[in-house]
Amino acid sequence: MSTSVAPPSPHDTLPPPQNPSPSKKIKNTPQTNDDDEKKEEDSTSDSTPTTPTPTPTSDSLANLPKPAPTTTIAPTIAPKPSPVLNRCIIMFSPNYVNSLTFLGNRRGDGSRTDPTPNRLTIHGDRDILLASLLNEYLLPPLQKMGLIVPVSPKMCNLNHMLKFHKKEYLDVLQNGPTNPSDLEDYNLVDDCALPETAEGRQQLFRYLQSMAGASLHAVAMLQKFSSGVKKTTTAINWGGGRHHAKANSAGGFCYVNDAVLALHGMRQKFGKTIYVDIDIHHCDGVEEAFENDDKVVTLSFHKYDMGFFPGTGESVGKKGKVNVPLPGGVTDDMFKLVFESGLERIITAHAEHSSPFSAFCLAVGADGLYGDPIVGLDGWSLSTRGLAESVRFVSLLCKRLKMPLLILGGGGYKDVNAARTFGVCTVAACEAGREGVLSRLPDRIPDHEYFPRYGPSFSIHTDETTKGDYGSEVGRRGRRVWAGVEVRHHEDEAQRGAKRRAGSSVFDVTM
Ligand SMILES: [Zn+2]
């Protein structure tokens, strides 16, 4: 069976993972901040370069992407030191967002083609909403402050995926089943249905290359810019965090486990790594992948209950894997208490009794929010403030302990609330660069393309105000999702939003 990769994509691909060459030190030539910024943007841009780009001479991920050559003219004026010592990068570009909002001739429940083909039903408009929120509201002021740099992610290829996944599984993902039992055997059914057409599978695989490539590229960027004037200590891929996929099977809307692939890279580049997962579902795919590996410690906070997906995570696993099974109804305050004390204890215990961690990976699901339509009314009662507080805590912890931090996304099935969460958490991730920036975020979402979708509160946060809005529709929408009916935004919500378009808030950059 052929294992050829998907056709050329709209964005670059990562070089193959084999035969990694020794990592190269970043040239620490004094330069202006603007020059530094320009080089990174040039080297990662989607646009066609106007000058030839040097051909990569190594297969190592660590060599991606190469900065433009530095000037040989000695500066006559000493460069101003950057006020931002802990910069964040976010894997983000129009091509990448498009690849996330693909696809498929099947609905989330596996039923046949719907009226909007080429869309993966379960993610709906989440990534489009988030992209607009970031582009038009959150990123510009953060960029102006020098706190964050958008980087256009590269795609990975089959060889990168083979670092964890089995070849026969990837064969079926790309080329379809060859035996009648293949789809069941690899769990490519229901929420992880495989498109029946070659074109559909091609689109699916391209999405997986983009999503996993972004996580791997983020790790490479963390290593590449871990020193220098504008040190990058945090990298975000909100499209990632597909923590349920196993080496030989899909599960829970996850086909390829980018978290496992990224953790392999972090373990190799930085050493002992802690993976912390605050999606409401247990990170079964990640825990299983590292169950015999004491260089990657997983710590999962999740809901555990009879019949609750995926049914694992009740107790501590092998090699010190830690699970914190929680009941339904957990609030922000409860979660903060458990999360912060649990995390501190694990970090301290490893530092005192074995060896300290060198790197941190945090997976943030938005399905712990109150009223998530997939989880239902028995889920958690978190808000954007609670999840962002966890990200802020980890950001400052990693700054204190001088650990690179990779942040991934996860579940979250009410599109506007997932967009809100990942938007607010982007700001929270910049706390390492400038403490207090999260508290400067205005509550009201300004007018932008999808403004009506955030009604009636038009708040960037989910809180008591918005609970009344979406809480009442939870049961109805949850049942509709499981019935395979695409969840669309409501016309009446849009109309209410249009009426409330009055003024817009500005994310004040003055600090
Ligand atoms: Zn989840």
Q: Domain containing 101 — which CATH number?
A: 3.40.800.20
**67, part of any domain:** no
Q: How far is the centre of ligand 1, averaged over its atoms, from the C-alpha of 314 (Å)?
A: 16
Tell me the pLDDT of the chain averaged across its residues.
76
Task: Decide if 489 is catalytic.
Answer: no
Q: How far is the centre of ligand 1, averaged over its atoms, from the C-alpha of 410 (Å)?
A: 6
Cα atoms found within 13 Å of the Cα of residue 38, Cβ hemisphere only: 10
Q: How far is the centre of ligand 1, averaged over its atoms, from the C-alpha of 32 (Å)?
A: 43
**179, part of any domain:** yes
Domain range spanning residue 418? Answer: 85-499
Choose the catalytic residue: 165, 244, 264, 282: 244
Cis peptide before 310 (omega within 30 of 0): yes
Cα 25–chain centre separation: 27
Q: How far apart are CA 476 and CA 480, in angstroms?
A: 6
Q: How far is the centre of ligand 1, averaged over its atoms, from the C-alpha of 309 (Å)?
A: 9
Q: How far is the centre of ligand 1, averaged over its atoms, from the C-alpha of 283 (Å)?
A: 8
- pLDDT, tens digit, for every residue of 198-218? 888 888 899 999 999 999 999
Task: Give residue 85's pLDDT.
Answer: 76
**69, part of any domain:** no
Task: Give residue 15's pLDDT.
Answer: 66
Task: Give residue 76's pLDDT.
Answer: 36
Residue 33 CB coordination number (10 Å) = 16
Task: Give residue 102's pLDDT.
Answer: 64
Q: How far is the centre of ligand 1, averaged over its atoms, from the C-alpha of 279 (Å)?
A: 5
- pLDDT, tens digit, for every residue of 102-136? 654 444 444 444 434 444 555 668 888 999 999 99
- CA-CA-CA-CA torsion for 261, 267, 273, 275, nearest 10 degrees? 10
**219, part of any domain:** yes
Task: Give residue 122's pLDDT.
Answer: 55
Confidence of residue 230 (pLDDT cuts 50, 70, 90): low
pTM of the model as a whole? 0.77
Q: How far apart are CA 8 and CA 14, in angstroms?
A: 12
DSSP element (H, E) containing 274: strand 273-277
Confidence of residue 231 (pLDDT cuts 50, 70, 90): confident
Token pair recorded at residue 333: 């305050």
Give the percent of the chain with pLDDT over 90: 54
**493, part of any domain:** yes
**Mean pLDDT across 223-242:** 87
Q: How far apart are CA 278 and CA 317, in angstroms?
A: 17
pLDDT at 474 over 90: no
Higher pLDDT, 448 or 492: 448
Q: How far is the centre of ligand 1, averaged over its atoms, from the C-alpha of 483 (Å)?
A: 19
**53, part of any domain:** no
Task: Give residue 11's pLDDT.
Answer: 63
Task: Give residue 81's pLDDT.
Answer: 45
**Mean pLDDT across 297-302:** 96
Task: Give residue 458's pLDDT.
Answer: 93
- Assess contact for 244 and 310: CB atoms under 8 A: yes
Query: How many domains, in total, are found in the chain?
Result: 1
Q: Can you point out the beta strands (E) in 295-418?
A: 296-303, 322-326, 359-363, 405-408
**Mean pLDDT across 176-205:** 89
Confidence of residue 229 (pLDDT cuts 50, 70, 90): low
Q: How far is the centre of ligand 1, averaged over its atoms, from the C-alpha of 367 (Å)?
A: 6
Confidence of residue 377 (pLDDT cuts 50, 70, 90): confident
Q: How far is the centre of ligand 1, averaged over its atoms, from the C-alpha of 172 (Å)?
A: 25
**217, part of any domain:** yes
pLDDT at 161 over 80: yes
Task: Give residue 226's pLDDT.
Answer: 80
User: Cβ neighbours of residue 262 under 8 Å, at least 6 residues apart?
Assistant: 215, 216, 218, 219, 240, 361, 406, 408
Higher pLDDT, 78 or 23: 78
**505, part of any domain:** no
Residue type, 78: A
Q: How far is the centre of ligand 1, averaged over its atoms, from the C-alpha of 19 (Å)?
A: 35
**Would you say the C-alpha torsion 224, 229, 230, 233 has a positive or negative sign?**
positive
Q: How far is the centre of ligand 1, averaged over its atoms, from the C-alpha of 242 (Å)?
A: 9
Q: How far is the centre of ligand 1, averaged over its atoms, from the C-alpha of 65 (Å)?
A: 32
DSSP element (H, E) containing 339: helix 332-353
Task: Give residue 12's pLDDT.
Answer: 66
